[in-house]
């Protein structure tokens, strides 16, 4: 096992998730798994905190990471690791807590998540503007306040007298609509 | 305005542990808070993690997040690879012992070889000097009971003798 010197840390920080997984699985570099934990450990803990009380969430998050050492064998190197891990942890939590209703909600959420940058052409810009007009009032107001006025959730919540959670939901649902229309446009072009 | 709209579909790297803690604790600057929320808008992973963090009191969340570190992984990996304990006095089972390639000769063998060489050189030099040469001659005389002149005569005698025999014939 390599020691964490400054040079080693700098080298591993540059690596992609897929490269870290590859190094852990095929080169048996335990330090690569450490770096995956550093990147996503707190997020896994956060998801566990949705399902469990705080002390149990910590234990569960640790247990899921231990299981992940074996579970990584199911990961295909050409997949998006972040999306794969997100689904993996949710499945673990769901199967652990046996709440079937949660599965549907999260599959929908993760299915619509776009983790890649989209090339913004004039056509895409026009599409975004047109789609903004079609959104409902709350969604449009929140998206405009967030992206055009650079306001935070809390500021928007104060402005429109709604909760910060509602602000986020309006923005995310509006973005989902924009992204799905953008995807549809891509398919038409292809 | 167009420039700002263009950033709607941007995505960035996931939030760090520090950002998660500061966001939940409410100690973040407005600019960084906006940057975090910009990412959260398009990332279900971070969005769910923040949801989970907000389901507890900030104190509770911060306490758990601070205690959640990679020590359990270190413990696990060190169990699997005991040889990483550099200060351990126990025998290492994780790493194979280094194979000795080639034949190592013992120290005394080299020393005795060097001593023999030196002694040989001393004897050679001794024999080259006058005393040594004289000693060598004495030894020859004592072995054959003849002087060096007699020995020379003996060597030349058969030649003369052979010549005489030819002449007599």
Query: Which domains can be identified in chain A, with CATH numbers?
Result: 6-111 (1.10.1740.10), 122-189 (1.10.10.10)
Residue where one domain finishes, among candidates B73, B99, B121: B73
- Please judge whether B48 and A120 are an interchain contact, meaning their C-beta atoms are less than 8 angstroms apart: no
- Please judge whether A54 and B64 are an interchain contact, meaning their C-beta atoms are less than 8 angstroms apart: yes
Domain-embedded: residue B16? yes
Residue where one domain finishes, among candidates B73, B95, B115: B73
- pLDDT tens across B14-54, in order? 999 999 999 999 999 999 999 999 999 989 999 999 999 99
The answer to whether residue A106 scores a pLDDT higher than 50 is no
Taking contacts as CB-CB distances below 8 angstroms, the residues of chain A near B52 are: 45-51, 57
The answer to whether residue B74 scores a pLDDT higher than 90 is no
More confident position, B123 or A182? B123
- pLDDT tens across A147-182, in order? 999 999 999 999 999 999 999 999 999 999 988 888
In the stretch 57-76 of chain A, residues with CB closer than 8 A to chain B read: 57-58, 61-62, 65-66
Q: What is the pLDDT of residue A87?
A: 93
ipTM for the assembly: 0.82
What is the distance between the alpha carbons of residues A123 and A120, in angstroms, rounded to a whole number? 8
Domain-embedded: residue B10? yes
**pTM of the model as a whole:** 0.67
The answer to whether residue A91 scores a pLDDT higher than 60 is yes
Taking contacts as CB-CB distances below 8 angstroms, the residues of chain B near A54 are: 56, 60-61, 63-64
What the block records as the tokens of A24 is: 């852990």
Structural domain tally of chain B? Answer: 2
| Minimal C-alpha gap between A96 and chain B (Å) | 16
Per DSSP, the three-state class of A132 is helix
Do residue B65 and residue B119 come from a single domain?
no
Query: Which residue do the tokens 């896994």 mark?
Result: A44
Q: What is the pLDDT of residue A103?
A: 43
What is the distance between the alpha carbons of residues A18 and A169, in angstroms, rounded to a whole number? 31
Phi, psi of A117 (to 5 degrees): -70, 140
Percent of chain A with pLDDT strictly greater than 90: 56
Q: What is the pLDDT of residue A157?
A: 95
The torsion angle over the Cα atoms of residues B24, B27, B29 and B34, rounded to 10 degrees, is: 10
- Please judge whether B61 and A42 are an interchain contact, meaning their C-beta atoms are less than 8 angstroms apart: no
Do residue B6 and residue B69 come from a single domain?
yes
Q: Which domain holds residue B66?
A: 2-73
């Amino acid at each position: 096992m390599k020691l964490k010197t400054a040079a080693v840390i700098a080298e591993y920080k540059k690596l992609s998730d897929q490269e870290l997984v590859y190094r852990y699985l095929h080169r048996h570099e335990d330090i690569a798994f450490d770096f995956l934990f550093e990147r996503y450990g707190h997020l896994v803990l956060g998801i566990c905190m949705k399902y469990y009380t705080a002390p149990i969430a910590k234990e569960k998050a640790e247990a899921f990471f231990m299981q992940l050492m074996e579970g990584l064998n199911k990961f295909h190197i050409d997949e998006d690791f972040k999306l794969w891990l997100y689904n993996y942890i949710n499945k673990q939590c769901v199967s652990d807590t046996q709440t079937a209703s949660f599965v549907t909600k999260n599959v929908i959420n993760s299915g619509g998540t776009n983790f890649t940058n989209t090339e913004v052409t004039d056509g895409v810009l026009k599409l975004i503007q047109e789609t903004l007009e079609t959104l409902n009032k709350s969604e449009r107001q929140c998206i405009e306040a967030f992206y055009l006025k650079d306001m935070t959730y809390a500021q928007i919540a104060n402005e429109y007298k709604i909760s910060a959670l509602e602000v986020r939901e309006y923005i995310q649902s509006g973005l989902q609509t924009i992204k799905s229309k953008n995807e549809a446009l891509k398919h038409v072009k292809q | 305005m167009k420039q700002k709209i263009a950033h709607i579909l941007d995505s960035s790297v996931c939030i760090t542990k520090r950002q998660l803690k500061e966001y939940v604790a409410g100690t973040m600057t407005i600019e960084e808070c906006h940057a975090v929320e910009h990412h959260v808008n398009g990332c279900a992973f971070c969005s769910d993690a923040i949801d989970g963090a907000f389901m507890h009191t900030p104190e509770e969340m911060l306490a758990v997040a601070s205690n959640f570190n990679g020590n359990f992984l270190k413990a696990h990996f060190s169990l699997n690879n005991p040889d990483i304990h550099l200060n351990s006095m126990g025998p290492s089972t994780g790493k194979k012992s280094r194979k000795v390639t080639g034949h190592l000769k013992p120290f005394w063998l080299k020393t005795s070889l060097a001593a023999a060489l030196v002694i040989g050189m001393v004897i050679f030099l001794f024999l080259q000097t006058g005393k040594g040469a004289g000693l060598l001659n004495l030894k020859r005389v004592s072995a054959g009971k003849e002087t060096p002149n007699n020995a020379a005569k003996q060597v030349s005698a058969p030649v003369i003798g052979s010549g005489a025999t030819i002449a007599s014939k």
